Structure 1
């Protein structure tokens, strides 16, 4: 994925009471029936969450320089939700609620937009959708305060904002600004995953909107499985992150019948051992895409990832990276979080 400083800043500059039903069938501590999560995964994940818990500020978010905002908050929140600890009674209860308050407070109560960019909005929509149905929000805000929206109401507003932005877009996808007429596959991936998570949570998302976005991703994919950023790929690109995005959204949208799904899967398998640019971002999508594609391939890749992360994790539990310490740590943990299978979006 081609990023520059401006793009990085833009990357994360990013109605009803919920029913308390966790869409999860595996037992705690199991990657699948009969398969224990490796001890190393527990250790890496626990140490990473300890770092994030220590560094959450009084606003409920994390320091991330110019990338601070609801997107940064949401990635960290997702890492906590993916751990399998009870979000209502477990050790991260307060951390999770503080993060949710920050995300909802960032939302425009009229438009539903959670800026300062659609990157932020997409990751925030994903986090709110995953929290919906898992988190008891009855004590999230003091009754009668100006920020008293339920999780369900916040998700519905955020979905409306994403759909409004898509309708304005010539390519029926998304770019940094909610009013943009152009699009890119990275921002669009973040927003579409948020919409798919909302739909999975029971929020109404029109099929027309999902299908239009999937058509956009298919058009951006070349026969060799590479995916363009702002223009369609002609093949031969370094495309691990973007190919992972396309493969994942098509799997979650149940469009594995499309040629682009097979093409991007083949590209990911052929390049599973590569060390891509922006590795934390690429691994975040690689982990989910390979898991949805083939468990044997994912297991092989996951074992290699665990070995790498054991040597890369700092003594304070964090991970360095080009996305800043908070985002790099959160995305790295989320790549490992597939092992636990607790987030509904991580189920297979």
Structure 2
């Protein structure tokens, strides 16, 4: 559903209206009503909840009519955000289950979904994002802006996530160590078969309008065009043999690849030179 929305398709516009409509109806139907809000874990984890809330938040934001939100979508997003707020651990992270200490990967989806909901007008607890930023900084390997999973033991994927989250949490470019880490993303290049890393790295570089953005985007795009299946029932899909691709399968990998390709027109850059894009 996120991949369809990212291409500009909604339940009211585009050639995949039925698919988006069914996705929205399904997420409505499986939202578990609790005293803390709507829970989309479905017996799984906060991963699923965060991604579902992100999809519903984007759908709500894209389907305004005369500046009015769909009231039912608004209700579901608001209640989903309430549950996410309840589930945050005091250290600012989110874990696999509500209230447990977590890691930067699960926290990433919660921050993205809550940021989207907030941008669409959903109110959140005043200290929610500040606490999330404190957690992200707690897994930073100082003085550089490299990040670990749940401790300052940096990895490439968690560093890409951390950089993206800091941008969403108000960290602005201009700090030398911070800016250098975006340069390092480009120097190392996309991981190509690790779509989780490449999704967050692509978002980070796009949001800061990095000077080598076109080079990065061309590398990623050419790789994805070259590796997309072209025959049989797998035509149009992607699958890479790595730890996450094998776990998530072809549907996960294909959705993530589509989201990577959509980044530059799905999102407005968070930080933009005003003289280049005057309001």
Coarse TM-score class (shorter-chain normalised): 0.7 to 0.9
Aligned with residue 265 of structure 1, among 182, 186, 196: 182
Aligned with residue 129 of structure 1, among 54, 57, 64: 57
Summarize the Cα distance change of 1:344–1:294 in structure 2 as closer, same or farther, 3 Å threshold: closer
Aligned match of 2:108 = 189
Aligned match of 2:126 = 207
1:239-296 deviation digits (Å, cap 9, x = unpaired): 2x2122121122123222696744643442332x1527x6111111111111012343
Query: Which stretches of structure 1, 4 residues or longer, exceed 4 Å deviation after superposition?
Result: 257-261, 343-348
What SS does structure 2 have at the residue aligned with 1:109? strand
Aligned match of 2:258 = 333
What SS does structure 2 have at the residue aligned with 1:112? strand
CA distance, structure 2, for counterparts of residue 86 and residue 154 of structure 1: 17
Summarize the Cα distance change of 1:345–1:157 in structure 2 as closer, same or farther, 3 Å threshold: farther
Aligned match of 2:85 = 163
Worse-superposed segment, 85-94 or 117-126: 85-94
Summarize the Cα distance change of 1:165–1:274 in structure 2 as closer, same or farther, 3 Å threshold: same
Summarize the Cα distance change of 1:209–1:186 in structure 2 as closer, same or farther, 3 Å threshold: same
CA distance, structure 2, for counterparts of residue 258 and residue 246 of structure 1: 17
Unaligned runs of 5+ in 2: 273-279
1:58-109 deviation digits (Å, cap 9, x = unpaired): xxxxxxxxxxxxxxxxxxx111111124541321111001011111222112
CA distance, structure 2, for counterparts of residue 156 and residue 327 of structure 1: 26
CA distance, structure 1, for counterparts of residue 178 and residue 126 of structure 2: 19
Summarize the Cα distance change of 1:102–1:200 in structure 2 as closer, same or farther, 3 Å threshold: same
Aligned with residue 246 of structure 1, among 159, 162, 166: 162
CA distance, structure 2, for counterparts of residue 200 and residue 298 of structure 1: 25
Aligned match of 2:2 = 78
Q: CA deviation at 1:184?
A: 0.5
CA distance, structure 2, for counterparts of residue 340 and residue 346 of structure 1: 13
Note the 1:52-131 alignment, pairs <5 A. Answer: 77-85=1-9, 87-110=11-34, 111-115=37-41, 116-131=44-59
Matched, 1:178 2:102: no
Q: CA deviation at 1:136?
A: 6.3
What SS does structure 1 have at the residue aligned with 2:171? coil
Q: Normalising to structure 1: TM-score of the pair? A: 0.66
1:24-70 deviation digits (Å, cap 9, x = unpaired): xxxxxxxxxxxxxxxxxxxxxxxxxxxxxxxxxxxxxxxxxxxxxxx
Aligned length: 252
Note the 1:195-344 alignment, pairs <5 A. Answer: 195-222=114-141, 223-233=143-153, 237-239=154-156, 241-256=157-172, 261-262=178-179, 264-271=181-188, 273-275=189-191, 279-315=194-230, 316-321=235-240, 322=245, 323-341=248-266
Q: Normalising to structure 2: TM-score of the pair? A: 0.82
What SS does structure 1 have at the residue aligned with 2:91? coil
Aligned match of 1:29 = none
Q: CA deviation at 1:132?
A: 0.8
CA contact (8 A) 2:9 2:16 kept: yes
